[in-house]
Amino acid sequence: MRVTHHPILGEQSPARTVEITVDGRKVTAREGETIAAALLAAGIRVNRITRKQGTPRGLFCAIGQCTDCVMVVNGVPNVRTCVTPVADGMTVETQKGGGPAPLKSGGSR
């Protein structure tokens, strides 16, 4: 749910929207917001599934420190979705364990 009205912050200003694909589902996001915010706004709370016990994890620190919210973004695993902004056409997948092996190119994460 988005906070469109706010007593201090005022009305939320209009923003350009971008479309991202989350586990195959199209999600509309506001340009400039983080992936985690876009997902929460769309009601998606699970970002990854742990490697050993297979339990869900979601947003925890929201400032890029804890890495609980990491997902596979454009094929790259371990992307901290709470600090990474959305981009049009981005693909986001629930990360299972360590995610796919890093790609040879763009595998800098």
Name the residues that contact other proteins, by CB under 8 A: 1-10, 12, 33-34, 36-37, 40-41, 45-47, 55-65, 73-74, 76, 79, 82-85, 87, 108-109
How many CB atoms neighbour CB 91 within 10 A? Answer: 13
With respect to other proteins, which residue has the nearer C-beta, 13 or 24? 13
The answer to whether 38 and 27 are in contact (CB under 8 A) is: yes
First to last CA, the chain: 30
**What are the backbone angles phi and psi of residue 85, rounded to the nearest 5°?**
-75, 155
CB of 101 to other proteins, least distance (A): 18
With respect to other proteins, which residue has the nearer C-beta, 56 or 98? 56
